[in-house]
Amino acid sequence: MSGPECCSNPPTLNPTGGAGHVDNLAGFEAPNLRKLADKVAAAGYYVVVPDFFHGDAYNPDNSARPLPVWLKDHGADKGFEASKPLIEALKAKGVSAIGAVGFCWGAKVVVELAKNRLIQGAVLLHPSFVTLDDIKGVDIPIAVLGAEIDKMSPPELLKQFEEVLAAKPGVASYVKVFPKVSHGWSVRYNTEDAVTVKAAEEAHQDLLVWFDKHLK
């Protein structure tokens, strides 16, 4: 089950933040995530940020609806199914190579897309619910960026991911553990914490390098 780190430092939602726009393909209002989307778009990519929660993000302050209950309505399997028409919409726009990035809950969605070869490149950041068997089923380029302080995907598990992927000579892979940061650091960082901001920016750069290498 997901731990408290997944929900720490929740974003102040802002529907006008970022340089992009909201249409029927995307619409999440977390400002740090929007900044990252802008950064990836500035590197030459067509970026969409789907709101698979349909505006119903988990609220840790709502004691009447704890995380296990919320997850019943928002399982990663539902995110995976919802992503399929999104991918078709991108293809209809002429997008030929699709990369997907998953943070925490979204990493499970992305790994399912990778296992089913619906995308051409994947990046998982501080993943939740991703198992060793999931990683064994991946045969497309995949990068896994994790945190040193993470109960959901501790460094020991990421090491196992790395070993499994390294045993696949035809599959490009990259696994990296960022020191001194916690689960969720790449998008839920405190903008006043210079150490965490630096680590987040490094992860963002790693993401771009990975896609530049395997999608362009």
Specify whether the CB–CB gap between 143 and 122 falls below 8 A: yes
Domain limits for position 105: 32-215
The answer to the question of residue 23 being in a domain is no
The alpha carbon dihedral of 51, 54, 60, 65 has a sign of negative
Report the distance separating Cα 143 and Cα 173, nearest Å.
Answer: 5
The answer to the question of residue 135 being in a domain is yes
The answer to the question of residue 166 being in a domain is yes
Specify whether the CB–CB gap between 102 and 111 falls below 8 A: yes
User: What is the per-residue pLDDT for 60?
Assistant: 86
User: What is the per-residue pLDDT for 5?
Assistant: 52
User: What is the per-residue pLDDT for 195?
Assistant: 92
User: What is the per-residue pLDDT for 8?
Assistant: 54
Q: What is the CB neighbour count within 10 angstroms for residue 24?
A: 7
Domains identified in the chain, total number: 1
User: What is the per-residue pLDDT for 23?
Assistant: 44
Report the distance separating Cα 158 and Cα 155, nearest Å.
Answer: 5
The answer to the question of residue 45 being in a domain is yes
List C-alpha distances in Å: 6 to 106, 125, 200.
Answer: 11, 12, 15
User: What is the per-residue pLDDT for 57?
Assistant: 85
User: What is the per-residue pLDDT for 25?
Assistant: 37
Chunked mean pLDDT (size 10), the chain, 216 residues: 49 49 49 91 93 87 90 94 95 95 96 98 97 97 97 97 96 97 92 93 98 95
The answer to the question of residue 99 being in a domain is yes
CATH of the domain at 86: 3.40.50.1820
Residue-wise over 7-22: b if at least 16 C-beta within 10 A, else e? bebebeeeeebbeeee
The answer to the question of residue 11 being in a domain is no
The answer to the question of residue 95 being in a domain is yes
The answer to the question of residue 148 being in a domain is yes
